[in-house]
Amino acid sequence: MHAYIVEWLNLLGRWFHMITGIAWIGASFYFIWLDNHLLTPKQSADADKGVSGELWAVHGGGFYNSQKYQVAPPELPETLHWFKWEAYTTWLSGMFMLILMYWYSAEIYLIDPSVAQLSKPVAIVIGFLVLLFGWIGYDALCRSRIGNNEKLMAAILIVAISIIAFLLCQVFSGRGAYIHFGAMLGTIMVGNVFFVIIPGQKDLVAACAAGRKPDPVHGIRGKQRSVHNTYFTLPVLFAMMSNHYAMTYAHPLNWLVLIAISLAGALIRVYFVSRHRGKASPIPLLASVVVLAGVAAMMVPAPRAGTDEIATSTATAVGNQDPQQLFAMVQGIVEQRCAGCHAQQPSQPGFLTAPQGILLETEAEIRQHAQAIYQQTVVLKAMPIGNLTRITDAERSTLAAWFEMGDSQ
């Protein structure tokens, strides 16, 4: 019953997180697009009222006229819509998922003994501190003199988050490191909304209501943080979906893969933000393609040379086995190391159903998923998760020899 409840919490939490995330990202992207498409108002009366830009659009069978004021309208409307709860609920639901999956089940998804020997409480504290000090460091950088130099700040941010990505991959499982990297950026994004953008907007509204001149610093800071958020968005989305692609987080240089793909995502947003303003240079987009192509080339699995001692001795041993005996060895390994999760009724604590619905209990099922077993267990070494079942290098080599001998079909 416990696993069943956790599974439902996972489903509902992930669904809610996706819904709120779409709402936040959609609103964020729309306002970036809107801000970059505003034109000088054609009506002099609008300019006299303080309108600095306007945009006409058609959608859903109706015409819309959006106007942006240089500071504020002469009189505030009775109803003023705020865009904040999309950000708050996205972060809250994301934290719920982080706690449920990676902190509550840290021994499965966060801790990898082959990376670092961590206790569950220590791993959780490290994860929390990464989120906390990630925001504190970023906010301090923005408020410093460096924050006035966007190019210098961008360079420092790239170096800083690269160091953080590297360190995360030295203490957590690749999957856990990636998700905490994304959670840190997501925390920075919602921190920008909660601590900077919304307070600035509240001060602007209060100033207008009191008839005093608003402080322009709030608009400057809010604009800066909004731009940062839009560049963080695609890296965060990659980090959140990376758990489906073990080839990234299980790579020996997983931290470099994480930074490279995040950089490519940021460059893609740079291109589209520039394109909103008019004719954009294709250089950022081309650079992102080059980066992604370089990562893909770097990640191509190297051919198994079979020259190491374990692989050689294993290949010799299995080479003397007839196909039936060899498969019996493979089936024993799969039963002991894999079927605890990949079964109709998993025996491994924390699993209610087989991951991705893959069952490995019968000969037919093992042969059906031979390619996946080889890819995930031998090439990527991403399975078993966190090596929960303590599969050995010799056993991985046995699986490799069986698959490479062509007996898997």
| Residue 403 near residue 326 (C-beta atoms within 8 A) | no
Does residue 342 belong to any structural domain of this protein? Answer: yes
Q: Are residues 262 and 330 in the same domain?
A: no
Supply 38's token pair. Answer: 């505003």
Of 266, 298, 330, at which residue does a domain stop?
A: 298
Q: Are residues 289 and 166 in the same domain?
A: yes
Does residue 28 belong to any structural domain of this protein? Answer: no
Please give the tally of structural domains in the chain: 2
Q: Are residues 155 and 233 in the same domain?
A: yes
Q: Are residues 243 and 328 in the same domain?
A: no
Euclidean distance between CA atoms 54 and 52, whole angstroms: 7
Average pLDDT of the residues in 264-291: 94
Does residue 34 belong to any structural domain of this protein? Answer: no
Does residue 393 belong to any structural domain of this protein? Answer: yes
**By C-alpha distance, which of 9, 395, 73, 117 is closest to 209?**
73
Does residue 345 belong to any structural domain of this protein? Answer: yes
Is the pLDDT score of 25 beyond 50? yes
| Residue 133 near residue 188 (C-beta atoms within 8 A) | no
Q: What is the mean pLDDT of the chain?
A: 90
**Per-residue pLDDT reduced to its tens digit, 107-157:** 989 999 989 999 999 999 999 999 999 999 999 999 999 999 999 999 999
Q: Are residues 97 and 116 in the same domain?
A: yes
Does residue 358 belong to any structural domain of this protein? Answer: yes
Q: Are residues 278 and 149 in the same domain?
A: yes
Is the pLDDT score of 305 beyond 60? no
Q: Are residues 181 and 254 in the same domain?
A: yes
* Residue 39 DSSP symbol: B
Of 246, 264, 298, at which residue does a domain stop?
A: 298
Read off φ and ψ for residue 70, nearest 5 degrees.
Answer: -60, -45
Q: Helix, strand, coil: what percent of the chain each, to 5?
A: 70, 5, 25
**By C-alpha distance, which of 78, 49, 71, 50 is closest to 207?**
71
Read off φ and ψ for residue 55, nearest 5 degrees.
Answer: -150, 135
Does residue 49 belong to any structural domain of this protein? Answer: no
Q: Are residues 99 and 129 in the same domain?
A: yes
Question: Residues with Cβ < 8 Å from 21, sequence gap 6 or more?
Answer: 90, 93, 94
Full domain range(s) for residue 113: 86-298
Q: Are residues 214 and 116 in the same domain?
A: yes
Instruction: List C-alpha distances in Å: 366 to 319, 322, 323, 396.
Output: 20, 18, 14, 15
Of residues 317 and 48, more confidently modeled: 48
Q: Are residues 314 and 277 in the same domain?
A: no
Confidence class for position 307, pLDDT limits 50, 70, 90: very low
Does residue 156 belong to any structural domain of this protein? Answer: yes
Read off φ and ψ for residue 252, nearest 5 degrees.
Answer: -55, -30
Q: Are residues 342 and 398 in the same domain?
A: yes
Confidence class for position 209, pLDDT limits 50, 70, 90: confident
Instruction: List C-alpha distances in Å: 354 to 6, 280, 386.
Output: 14, 47, 16
Of 252, 275, 298, at which residue does a domain stop?
A: 298
Q: Are residues 142 and 234 in the same domain?
A: yes
